[in-house]
């Protein structure tokens, strides 16, 4: 019999010494935890400071702008009152909101229908060939001039449809949604077919209600894309009354065009920097408000749709 000089201390073993446990799953030391907290706090400060700077100077008055201080010390709403009274920013916000809502709804409808059709490779003719064709669009594009000539030939210049139809279906979003549909139980769909349900009814009453997570994520992707798009408007829209907010932001903030067209003529002009920062806040705030509500769908929607097996 083998005897031990010292008893084994059961239950006092640290998580770091548990055999078979990966090192990254062990509890870090207090020093490592403190370093992680400091690093995360530094990253948060670096990421939040530009937002705080933009928001603060959008409310700055003339004295705060000319003082050269890192943040304004006195605040005013004159910049927001000026751009909303001018009418250009308000109209461009309505245009962008309409394009985003209509474009997102249509993109979700057509993307989900195409994705579900491409999961039925045995029932849909030329499904595999269509899948290859869609994948090719991820790597090859026609270019600016052919796209412009196509939009012109279709009579869509100066039309809101020129900002929606070219990006109606994203190949990447379609692939993510298709993979999510393929994870649905095939037995559930087959039982519906045995009961006499058509493919469209299966898609509408079974597939879509079970796919709310991926629909929310893909819908957010489309909405952000439509809201932030300005290049198509720059090429296809010549009427300034139809400019979306991002094109207004590009022309009057990035290109530094005269801000007189954005402001009411009967009001004193606020500082130029405050007006520019106010336009940035107005163009960014709606997406920042929507993101937290859709964030809880990200893990389930994206991971389930992107990983097969």
Beta bridge partner(s), residue 75: 60
Are 211 and 181 contacting, i.e. CB atoms less than 8 angstroms apart? yes
pLDDT at site 298: 63
User: Is 167 a residue whose pLDDT tops 60?
Assistant: yes
Report the pLDDT averaged over residues 240-265: 77
| pLDDT 10s digits, 100-118 | 999 999 999 999 999 998 8
All residues at 6 or more sequence positions from 258 whose CB lies less than 8 Å from its CB, including other chains: 252
| pLDDT 10s digits, 31-69 | 888 898 999 999 988 888 888 888 888 888 877 777 767
Q: Is residue 110 part of a domain?
A: yes
User: Is 306 a residue whose pLDDT tops 50?
Assistant: no
Q: Is residue 122 part of a domain?
A: yes
* Structural domain total, the chain: 1
Residue 83, number of CB atoms within 10 A of its CB: 26
| pLDDT 10s digits, 255-281 | 766 666 666 666 667 778 888 888 889
For 138, the domain range is: 87-267+275-306
The residue ranking higher by pLDDT, 123 or 202, is 202
pLDDT at site 267: 65
Q: What is the DSSP letter of 226?
A: H
User: Is 72 a residue whose pLDDT tops 60?
Assistant: yes
d(CA 259, CA 280): 14
Of residues 253, 271, 252, 267, the one with CA closest to residue 66: 271
CATH number at residue 283: 1.10.3720.10
């Amino acid at each position: 019999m083998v005897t031990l000089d010292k008893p084994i201390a059961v239950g006092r073993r640290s998580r770091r010494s548990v055999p078979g446990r990966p090192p990254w799953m062990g509890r870090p030391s207090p020093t490592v935890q403190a370093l992680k907290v400091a690093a995360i706090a530094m990253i948060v400060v670096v990421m939040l400071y530009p937002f705080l700077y933009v928001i603060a100077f959008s409310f700055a008055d003339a004295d705060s702008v000319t003082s050269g201080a890192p943040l304004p010390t006195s605040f005013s709403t004159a910049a927001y009152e000026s751009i909303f009274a001018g009418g250009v920013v308000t109209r461009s916000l309505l245009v962008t909101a309409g394009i985003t809502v209509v474009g997102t709804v249509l993109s979700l409808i057509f993307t989900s229908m195409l994705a579900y059709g491409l999961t039925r490779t045995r029932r849909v003719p030329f499904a595999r060939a269509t899948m290859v064709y869609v994948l090719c669009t991820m790597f090859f594009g026609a270019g600016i001039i052919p796209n412009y000539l196509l939009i012109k030939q279709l009579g869509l210049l100066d039309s809101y449809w020129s900002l929606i139809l070219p990006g109606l279906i994203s190949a990447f979003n379609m692939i993510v949604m298709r993979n999510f549909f393929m994870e649905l139980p095939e037995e559930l769909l087959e039982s519906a077919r045995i009961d006499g349900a058509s493919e469209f009814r299966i898609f509408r009453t079974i597939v879509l209600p079970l796919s709310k997570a991926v629909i929310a994520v893909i819908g957010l992707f489309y909405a952000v894309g439509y809201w932030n798009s300005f290049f198509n408007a720059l090429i296809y829209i010549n009427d300034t009354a139809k400019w979306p907010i991002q094109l207004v932001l590009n022309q009057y903030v990035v290109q530094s065009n005269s801000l007189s067209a954005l402001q009411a003529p009967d009001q004193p002009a606020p500082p130029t920097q405050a007006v520019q920062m106010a336009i940035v806040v107005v163009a960014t705030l709606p997406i920042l408000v929507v993101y937290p509500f859709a964030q809880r769908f990200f893990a389930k929607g994206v991971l389930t749709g992107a990983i097969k097996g």
